[in-house]
């Protein structure tokens, strides 16, 4: 019997059942991996009663695992040279190789990640992980996962029966100068990082007779930026590094209003990558390293990247706005002693 991660399953099928392996990023998210030895942890395997022989071999993210077996339109003999987790690949696709780089992937939920020089054990709700690994070394990172960002926009779309996409939400949201004091906390399935409150439930606060669909649309988009700041602030404190720019990708990053408000509420620039799939780009970069297409990460960092840049607005009262958000979040949190 073979037990493994999704990358091990893909590799197993691409190789015609010959290869059972995974990379360190995916292994590091199983709760069975030792971040220091970079191997399956014997104590954890014993705790969960999992036989080591059934688990995949762990290799670097950039590594020639083997070759493909001809199947369908895929020819045989193609080197399989990269395996990596989705969020980790996005950070590599941004060329966020040095401490101080932080990326946010805006999907149904969102993931923030920043590299660290060594494993940092979070005390405030972040995950310690392997960012990626090459034949030379493993690079560590802190990650924060947010449950509902793009999902909040989908929910609003259904609530208002808009039957449309993000572009219309943006037009609706920019039809008013502010939210009129409305905050939406999209804790539809609880709150993720840095709160980790499964009992929290969604909340809309600040409604008046003057509240319109446009105010709700703006509050929904702003809720994404506020949640990202929640993680950003904790990540900056725990990494002990000044995070001077947010590298953005993912579907919701195409919303110009959201990107501008994100820069405003963080008080730092946001650089949006215009690639449609930065994760796939990161995986390709790692494969290129493995086969020698690029000699070093520095060569990859020097490659051209199309991006937009959003600078923060110095006139925004971000302190007042964020305090209102924090007060709204506090109302959703579960008090076990209550």
Structure tokens at 327: 């007060």
pTM confidence score: 0.92
How high is the mean pLDDT in each 10-residue block of the chain (338 residues)?
95 96 96 96 97 97 96 92 96 92 95 94 94 94 96 91 71 95 97 94 96 96 98 95 93 94 96 92 97 95 93 91 97 71
Mean pLDDT of the chain: 94
Domain ranges of the chain: 1-83, 86-338
Measured CA to CA, the distance from residue 38 to residue 331 in angstroms comes to 41
Helix (H) or strand (E) holding 173: helix 166-173
pLDDT at residue 331 in the model: 94
Decide yes or no: CATH 3.30.420.40 for domain 86-338.
yes
């Amino acid at each position: 019997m073979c037990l493994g991660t999704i990358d091990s399953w893909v590799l197993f099928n691409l190789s015609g059942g010959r290869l059972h392996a995974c990379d360190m990023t995916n292994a590091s998210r199983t709760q069975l991996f030792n971040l220091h030895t970079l191997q399956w942890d014997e104590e954890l395997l014993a705790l969960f009663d999992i036989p080591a022989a059934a688990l995949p071999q762990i290799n670097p993210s950039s590594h020639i695992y083997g070759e493909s077996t001809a199947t369908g339109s895929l020819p045989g003999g193609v080197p399989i040279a990269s395996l990596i987790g989705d969020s980790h690949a996005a950070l590599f696709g941004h060329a966020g190789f040095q401490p101080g780089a932080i990326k946010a992937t805006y999907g149904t939920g969102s993931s923030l990640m920043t590299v660290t020089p060594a494993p940092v054990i979070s005390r405030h709700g972040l995950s310690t992980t392997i960012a990626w690994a090459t034949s030379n070394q493993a690079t560590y990172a802190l990650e924060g996962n947010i449950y509902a960002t793009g999902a909040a926009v989908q929910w609003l779309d259904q609530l208002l029966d808009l039957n449309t996409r993000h572009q219309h939400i943006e037009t609706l949201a920019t039809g008013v100068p502010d939210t009129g004091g409305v905050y939406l906390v999209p804790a539809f399935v609880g709150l993720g990082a840095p709160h980790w409150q499964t009992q929290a439930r969604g909340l809309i606060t600040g409604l008046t007779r003057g509240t319109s669909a446009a105010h709700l649309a703006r509050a929904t988009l702003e809720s994404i930026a506020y949640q990202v700041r929640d993680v950003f602030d904790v990540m900056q404190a725990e990494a002990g590094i000044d995070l001077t720019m947010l590298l953005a990708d993912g579907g919701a990053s195409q919303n110009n209003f959201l990107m501008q408000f994100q820069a405003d509420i963080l008080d730092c620039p946001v650089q949006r990558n215009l690639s449609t799939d930065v994760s796939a780009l990161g995986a390709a970069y790692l494969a290129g390293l493995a086969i020698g297409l690029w000699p070093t990460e520095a060569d990859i960092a020097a490659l051209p990247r199309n991006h937009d840049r959003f600078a923060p607005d110095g006139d925004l009262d971000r302190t007042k706005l964020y305090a209102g958000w924090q007060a709204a979040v506090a109302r959703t949190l579960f008090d076990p002693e209550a």
